[in-house]
A and B are shown apart, each in its own frame.
Chain A
Amino acid sequence: MTPPISETWRLPPRAVLLAALLLLVTAEVGGASMARFKLELARWARGEMQRHPAVHGLVGVRDVDERALDEALFRFETGLRLFHMHAEGMALVIIATTTIAATLTGGASRRALVVLLAVGGVGYPLGYLLWSALIPGLGVERGKTIAEWTFWIPFGCATIVALLWLAALIAARVIRR
């Protein structure tokens, strides 16, 4: 016989909640800094790009280079913006999904799910910050490849695996009832 389902939500470990809140704080501080230091950031990025002309394919002709610089600057700002948005979103995703995992799963599965959801959720947005930081010196594509293999793929994978696993466990529970 299936044991009665608890009517109360269980909180995830406090360390997970703290990590999610710190991510939220970073997102807000990052967003505010982007607005406050927009000009300084753009000036720094442009200066760095001009110090690495070969990386950005600059040829020393204004009509040709302005578009390459404009695109790299656009990607730099997009990376910062996406960090802000993903960090805000993932912080809430961590709280929601680890709460579900803590409430509806048990034993080793619960621990593994909470770790995967927390680590994946915190790490993924940081990839955007790294991408932005790398664009001026290494270029859009090389920076993207590094961010992909160090942050987006491992941490994104962890989150997706954990979500699929959690969904499968809950679906199995629903079917069993």
Chain B
Amino acid sequence: MRPACASALALLLTILAVAPATAHHTGTYTPKDNAITTNFKQLKFSVQAGKFDVARRLFDDGPLRREMRARAAALPDGLEARTRAAFDAGDAAEVERGLMVFFAALGRDLALEADRQLAAGAAPAPTGARFLEAIWRYYNLVDFAVSRRDARASVAMRLAYDDAEALVRPAAAPAAVSAARVRESFRRIADILSGIIHAPPAPVR
């Protein structure tokens, strides 16, 4: 083979090799449930199956109730006792409402903390994105329950979340994310969730 021909072949081989060489297996991460969301799903499926004794046991010994107790000061008075009584009474709607209020409170507290950290100077895009992810992980578990009681609140929450997502994950110039606008969207989320938490019991549709 002539030197020129060999060089051309070597160049061609290198070009052909570069594209596949830049792709590597790095695994696919699937977010896992945490102890509270896992316990919520256990409770939900037990109640749906009408196994209230199982659900009550899972509630009594589970991390969700421990978290409810730990956050009692930030929750409506007697939420834990009312939810426990609903398990005893086999009242699926009231159990659902208790859990809905609890998860809405978790989301609201995260939105308020995000606002506080952004006010203290945290970078809006990464901080906002992380908090939104955590809020949605909790809220999406109870969105169905919210929509059955207050469809407007459910729609408002989805819109507020979408708007906040668009703010913290802009298609271009992520450095130009406005902290003031991101804070405003977190306050809006916190207001909507507060409305859900403090709304009087509504008939289930």
Contact = CB atoms under 8 A, between A and B. Distances in A.
A59 B130 contact: yes
Secondary structure at the A interface, as helix, strand, loop or mixed, is helix
By size class, the interface of chain A is 20 to 34
Interface of A: 57, 59, 61, 63-64, 66-68, 70-71, 74-75, 78-79, 81-82, 127, 131, 144, 148, 152-153, 156-157, 160-161, 164-165, 168
B2 interface: no
A18 to B, nearest CB: 26
A146 to B, nearest CB: 13
Contacts of A61: 110, 113, 131, 134
Contacts of A74: 27, 29
Given A63-B138, A64-B134, A161-B17, 14 more contacts: A57-B127, A59-B130, A61-B131, A63-B34, A63-B137, A64-B133, A66-B34, A67-B137, A68-B130, A82-B26, A127-B24, A153-B22, A157-B21, A161-B10
Contact of A67 (B18, B24, B31): B31
A98 B25 CA distance: 24
Nearest to A64: B134
A153 B27 CA distance: 18
Interface centre among A57, A63, A70, A160 (most CB of B within 10 A): A63
Interface residues of B, number: 31
A59 B20 CA distance: 37
B131 A156 contact: no
Given A61-B110, A161-B14, A148 B134 contact: no
B20 to A, nearest CB: 6
Nearest to A60: B117
Contacts of A157: 14, 17-18, 21
A70 to B, nearest CB: 6
A160 B16 contact: yes
26 contacts: A59-B131, A61-B110, A61-B113, A63-B138, A64-B130, A64-B131, A64-B134, A66-B34, A67-B31, A67-B130, A67-B137, A75-B29, A82-B25, A82-B27, A148-B22, A148-B24, A153-B22, A156-B20, A156-B24, A160-B16, A160-B20, A161-B13, A161-B16, A161-B17, A165-B9, A165-B10
B114 to A, nearest CB: 8
Nearest to B35: A66
A59 B27 CA distance: 25
Contacts of B17: 156-157, 160-161, 164
B127 A75 contact: no
B106 interface: yes
A164 B110 contact: no
Contacts of A63: 34, 106, 110, 134, 137-138
Nearest to B129: A57
A68 B122 CA distance: 17
Interface in B118-158: 122, 126-127, 130-131, 133-134, 137-138
B179 to A, nearest CB: 14
A79 B29 CA distance: 12
A160 B134 contact: no
A150 B27 CA distance: 20
Nearest to B17: A160
B205 interface: no
